[in-house]
Amino acid sequence: MSKTIVGRAYEQQVLTDSLTSHRSELVAIYGRRRIGKTYLIREFFGNKITFSFTGLSTGKRADQIKNFILKLNEVTNEFKNEKHPADWLEAFSYLKAFLKGIKESKKKKVIFIDEFPWVDSHKSGFLNAFENFWNDYCTTRSDLVVVVCGSAASYMVKKIIRNSKGLSKRITQTIKLKPFNLHETQRFFKYKKILMEEYDILKIYMVIGGIAEYLEHVKAGESAVITIDRLCFQQDAYLENEYDEVFKSLFDENSYHQKIMNALVNNKKEGFTRDEILKELKISSGGRFSDSLEELMQSGFVLKYEAYKDDIKSTLYRIYDEFCLFHIKFMKPFKGSKWTQIFQKQEYKSWCGYAFETICLKHDKEVKKALKCDQIESKNYSWHNPKAQVDLVIDRDDDVVNLCEIKFYNDEFLLDATYLQRLRNKENQFKASTKTKKGIYTVMITTWGVKSNQYSQAIVTNSLTMKCLFEPM
């Protein structure tokens, strides 16, 4: 494990396995822009990288090939007097010739192709040539690790991981790089010598999520409010144009991606069904819409999850990316304003509840660990009927159902008689609707916990604080 990489324990183990296996490995890694894919590969493999090539974001085939050869000329003098290849088959023949000059050994050599989707433009022939390079040459050796990387999740999944032609079942390792969780974010700040309380980390996380490159711009000594104002609202703020740049770099302009995101941000706490999204967009279902929705999920921008209305199961969608939600909800409508004023508005307080709930859904394993039921099989879903709504239901195989009430609050949460009745009603409505015979237990997940009094003692079986979300898994 590299000391310069924070977290990523599973991913580092996968990469370690690729170095110690008895065969050549083809590793596919994907994840949204600025999440740290390139950093992970370069830092982990270091001087084991024999050849590295990054695609041009807008280059034509000739430009991409020229870039490829220029990178090859950085590691060998063999082709400096050769003419530039006419196509990708010829370009990869140069790479083969270079590798043939390196004696096969037990020590693995790493070939790293970054932003693979950028190179494989329409009719470029790049993917076919790469397939040939892997099948015709790399598989004849046992000492190569070929890493292909890309931010365009839909491309990486369809064209590489689920490839049904030349790369069918050829990928030996797959890494979907996700944002840091809260524990990793806290470790990242400690690595950068930023001392910050969990409450401030949580407030920053609710705005920019666990995107490594965004977190790099957090400074020591600043409060969450000042950090958010500097990164998102000040003139020429670092994240001012990030939302549009992310979508332009990943998706076609004539797709439904941003329209779907705008629809999902509307005030509907329990999420949207597919038909409700279509109704919001005023369109009928079709391939372009389906592809856009699927690509948003693959890229980590949208969450698909189970929900029940009474006893009728449905599938709901909600925005899953913290920064995207924050941009649509605050940065766009309040552009030119100061966050030091906006965060005191009621819109922010309402949004905090929704954002905190999403973070709890992302950290469901940490919640289950705090409930000491992480070794028990269970399924998560939301539930509602016209009279009650439950943020998170943990339906366990040990005949227990936890009804989780999630509240973001700036102090200990105080239950009174009215709130007690509200929670009682949720339990009763859930029992009547589902007709479950399992034990029903109400769990409160709050920032600072629940103040102990006669009302909380009457119904709350577990009071979890934000601290449990920061626990390592």
Q: Which residue has the tokens 């929670």?
A: 423
Question: Do residues 5 and 43 lie in contact, with contact meaning Cβ atoms separated by under 8 Å?
Answer: yes
Tokens representing residue 433 in the block: 């609707």
Starting at the earlier edge strand, list the strands of the sheet with 49-54: 49-54, 109-114, 144-150, 25-30, 173-176
The ranges of the chain annotated as CATH 1.10.10.10 are: 243-331
What backbone torsions phi and psi does residue 133 show, to the nearest 5 degrees?
-60, -45
Give the architecture-level CATH label for domain 363-470.
3-Layer(aba) Sandwich (3.40)
Instruction: Fill in the amino acid letter for 389.
Output: Q
Please, what sign has the CA dihedral across residues 122, 128, 133, 138? positive
The ranges of the chain annotated as CATH 3.40.1350.10 are: 363-470
Tens-digit pLDDT string for the chain (473 aa) = 666 899 999 999 999 999 999 999 999 999 988 999 999 999 999 999 999 999 999 889 999 999 999 999 999 999 988 888 999 999 999 999 999 999 999 999 999 999 999 999 989 999 999 999 999 999 999 999 999 999 999 899 999 999 999 999 999 999 999 999 999 999 999 999 999 999 999 999 999 999 999 999 999 999 999 999 999 999 999 999 999 999 988 887 778 999 999 999 876 677 899 999 999 999 988 888 999 999 999 999 999 999 988 888 889 999 999 999 999 999 999 999 999 999 988 889 889 999 999 999 999 999 999 999 999 999 999 999 999 999 899 999 999 999 999 999 999 999 999 999 999 999 999 999 999 999 999 999 999 999 999 999 999 999 999 999 999 98
Domain 243-331, CATH: 1.10.10.10
Using DSSP, state whether 204 is helix, strand or coil: helix
Q: How far apart are CA 362 and CA 342, in angstroms?
A: 26
Question: Do residues 214 and 231 lie in contact, with contact meaning Cβ atoms separated by under 8 Å?
Answer: yes
What backbone torsions phi and psi does residue 185 show, to the nearest 5 degrees?
-65, -45
How confident is the model at residue 80, as a pLDDT?
Answer: 87
Starting at the earlier edge strand, list the strands of the sheet with 400-407: 312-319, 302-309, 378-385, 388-396, 400-407, 439-446, 460-464
Q: How far apart are CA 457 and CA 423, in angstroms?
A: 12
Instruction: Fill in the amino acid letter for 57.
Output: S
Domain 9-176, CATH: 3.40.50.300
How confident is the model at residue 401, as a pLDDT?
Answer: 97
Question: Do residues 405 and 356 lie in contact, with contact meaning Cβ atoms separated by under 8 Å?
Answer: no
How confident is the model at residue 285, as a pLDDT?
Answer: 87
Q: Which residue has the tokens 């700040």?
A: 189
How confident is the model at residue 286, as a pLDDT?
Answer: 86
The ranges of the chain annotated as CATH 3.40.50.300 are: 9-176
DSSP 346-397: HHHHHHHHHHHHHHHHHTHHHHHHHTT-TTS-EEEEEEEETTEEEEEEEEET
How confident is the model at residue 391, as a pLDDT?
Answer: 87
Tell me, yes or no, if the pTM score tops 0.75: yes
